[in-house]
A and B are shown apart, each in its own frame.
Chain A
Amino acid sequence: MTLPSDTPEGLTTADGRPLKASLEHAVRRHRLRALMLVLPLVAFLIVAFILPIGSMLWRSIDNPEVSQGLPLTSRAIADWDGQELPGEPVYAALYKDLETGYADRSIGRVASRLNYQYSGMRSTLMGSARKLGRLEGPPWKAAMISLDRDWGEHDLWRMIQREARPWTLSYYLSAIDMQYAPNGDIVEKPGYLQLHVKLFVRTLWMSMLITALCLVLAYPVAYLLATLPAGKGNLLMILVLLPFWTSLLVRTTTWIAILQQQGVLNDILVSLHVIGNDERLQMIYNKTGTIVAMTHILLPFMILPLYSVMKTIPVGYMRAARSLGAGPVTAFRRVYFPQTVAGIGAGSILVFILSIGYYITPALVGGESGRFITNLIAYHMQTSLNWGLAAAIASILLFVVIICYLVYNRLIGVDKVKLG
């Protein structure tokens, strides 16, 4: 008869194996099977979510052009003290790099990269590379300066030294409308180039406004949903969910039909003589358009968390408050409302986070004044092809979202977010 026995090594099973190992063995198969089931999802998440985000974060600081395009120069200038012009070895390295770069045509990338930071760099680099053949030999320092006087500029070398490092903060500086001054200090960009901060601020405050509007509109609807008898409640729920089943583009373009100057709403206002035919309101392709359309589209994300919280508040609380002498308003304010705070928090965080990252709707109906920072990311991705800057802006957006999430988690708790 073998029972689990108490050996100095701990409990063992009937056949003498240590109990822990035996348990581990018995549980491992279940664990493996469970792991197999989630494996496709894990793989999908890694490929479609974690890798792109990692790549984006990397790209926002990655700076390979100069260190790869001018490898010898980059190495030679790394320990330049920045006081006098660099010495002969640096110019010699530059000569070699330009020679190689011109031969294999890789110099163009370096030229446009450096041109972001120092205007005129493109022609300096390209021109020098083209004219290298005219040089007769060392000393290269004087020779290079004779090719292009910019090579004798102190600030230019400082910039090359800075950009020769494999990573850079310049995209982030650019994303918040700052830049390196020629002498290396961080300064604001000139006013006419400042664009990002304004758009960040606009994105944030319009998202807050949209969140607030959603809350005001969703609260009564959620209350109705939670208190109506099942039949009517289901009908209302379908109406709430209907937008979910309609294409985002359809919903957005519908607002164009409604709000444009020759649109339904203006027609009604004109026919009611509220406004004259020549003073039709501009309600789309501006902030109003973005706010109206996005409030409509994001409304379900506010209603559902509110509803799921309100559903759990029994009617008895309000009745108890009334029976204890509180009028309807007091009962609502002191008993019902505090219990819905979790839902308000959940809905607000959802709507706010979705809203600051919204792209299609502001792009379609926002016009110039209703654009979001996301539209600028798209611009840098597609038009200016400055992916590093796009990545930096997107990363800042990601940090904002993470901060919102952490604040919310601290205040209310993420486990309170429910959609139904």
Chain B
Amino acid sequence: MQATVEPHASPDQEPTASDHSRSSSFVRFINVQKSYDGETLVVKDFNLDIQKGEFVTLLGPSGSGKTTCLMMMAGFETPTHGRILLKDQPITDLPPHKRGIGMVFQNYALFPHMTVAENLAFPLDVRRTGKAETKEKVQKALDMVRLGEFGDRRPGQLSGGQQQRVALARALVFEPELVLMDEPLGALDKNLREEMQFEIKRIHDRLGVTMIYVTHDQSEALTMSDRIAVFSDGVVQQLASPRDLYERPENAFVAGFIGENNRLAGEVLSIDGDVCRVRIDSGEEIEAMAVAVTQPGERTTLSIRPERIALGAGAGSLDNVFEATVDEVIYLGDHLRAHVSAFGGQQFSIKTPNNEDVGTLRPGQTLSIGWSRQNCRALDGQTPTH
């Protein structure tokens, strides 16, 4: 069933400019464009609808425009064109401090001259919250990030992970409905990052606050998000759930950016509903899902995930079966990675569970490889830049 979903068919796809009737969204970017120098667009026609309580990640390589979008949402950058709505109110002309949006910065931005508790009390102070209430809320927020005992410390006395948790608590303590996060875990080491991903997700689930999260780390995006917008060159390449993004990438960029894939360039021979036949450049014909191709004769890139390629005996019954030579076998404990070549030199990377069948793989060995057409997606013919 995975392969039968039409692209652009999910209910929460990008709205168009004329799509104003549907106004239930919490946050809307409508045709937003941004240029710094008047010559190039950093963000080109950005559209995004975010529902209340959603966790949406803007994912992309650096320079793709994702942080600019976040800064426009926060009010630190002005859109060159287009509108941004928060709860159906345009906020483009609202200064940052009147937007009531919590924000977590990449370098934490904890005020070094204040204690942790004073940092947390800051947003409450400027809102003229009473002393007792402030104290209570600060303590509650510190307890939430499990730093209840650290109120009197200075940020400089905390570890990176603790500082990050304080920054998170500070962005949440004034109970904003929307929280923006700009690569908040970028400075942490791997273990801490994973722990914090879990922590942020837990807080998101508990408070039901809407979060927009910017990262260039795909595994972070896949772990945490309800939906991910993949950015490249100022354009959203695909907006979908993590699962759809990985299993049903709509173009070659997304397929290449999210996870690994094997790519085969070719030309469409025929299209029959969802299925198409493609002749790859070395002459072989392959059956694939017609994702981003519309007519025979088009150039296309076939994308196959390494773990969806079967080896040896398992390949026999599949839609596409070819002969390949093993170049290299890398032992990774729970799985093996094999680099094989087929079609006269085309490299394939294959990931396979470590079971008895593959224990005998040797470089130089010839064997069959195969995959079903559901796992082979015919995408746009552009050479991916990633």
Contact = CB atoms under 8 A, between A and B. Distances in A.
Q: Do A and B come from one complex?
A: yes
A322 B171 CA distance: 12
A213 interface: no
B102 interface: yes
A339 interface: yes
Contacts of A331: 97
Given A314-B107, A316-B105, A319-B76, A326 B113 contact: no
B384 interface: no
B122 A324 contact: yes
| Interface core residue of A320, A327, A334 (most chain B CB under 10 Å) | A320
For chain A, what secondary structure do more than half of its interface residues adopt (helix, strand, loop), or is it mixed? helix
Range, interface on chain A: 10 to 19
B107 A323 contact: no
B103 A326 contact: no
A321 B102 CA distance: 10
Given A317-B111, A319-B109, A334-B122, A324 B174 contact: yes
A147 interface: no
A326 B109 contact: no
B101 A323 contact: yes
A316 B107 contact: yes
Interface in B346-382: none
B353 to A, nearest CB: 45
A324 B113 contact: no
B103 A325 contact: no
Interface string B184-214: 0000000000000000000000000000000
Contacts of A334: 122, 126
Interface size class of B (residues with CB under 8 A): 20 to 34
Given A319-B76, A331-B97, A339-B113, A326 B107 contact: no
A335 interface: yes
Given A319-B76, A319-B105, A320-B103, A325 B113 contact: no
Interface string A297-333: 0000000000000000010110111111111101100
B97 A326 contact: yes
B96 A322 contact: yes
Contacts of B249: none
B174 A339 contact: no
A10 interface: no
A331 to B, nearest CB: 7
B123 interface: yes
Interface string A130-169: 0000000000000000000000000000000000000000
Given A330-B126, A334-B122, A322 B109 contact: no
A338 interface: yes
B170 interface: yes
Max chain B Cβ within 10 angstroms of own Cβ: one of A314, A319, A335: A319
Interface string B100-118: 1111011101111100000
Interface string A336-354: 0011000000000000000
B127 interface: yes
Contact of A325 (B74, B106, B111, B174): B174
Contacts of A325: 97, 100, 123, 126-127, 174
Interface string B70-109: 0000111000000000000000000111011111011101
A339 B109 contact: no
A150 to B, nearest CB: 69
A53 to B, nearest CB: 38
Nearest to B179: A323
Nearest to A314: B107
B113 A338 contact: yes
B167 to A, nearest CB: 8
B76 A326 contact: no
B122 A323 contact: no
B109 A320 contact: yes
B123 A317 contact: no
A386 B94 CA distance: 71
A326 to B, nearest CB: 5
Interface string A6-38: 000000000000000000000000000000000
Nearest to B167: A320
A338 to B, nearest CB: 5
A331 B111 CA distance: 11
B112 A323 contact: no
Contacts of A320: 103, 105, 109-111
A322 B105 contact: no
B109 A316 contact: yes
A327 B103 contact: no
A10 B162 CA distance: 45
12 contacts: A317-B111, A319-B76, A322-B97, A323-B75, A323-B102, A323-B171, A324-B126, A325-B97, A325-B123, A326-B122, A326-B126, A327-B97
Given A324-B174, A325-B100, A326-B97, 4 more contacts: A319-B109, A320-B111, A324-B97, A327-B95
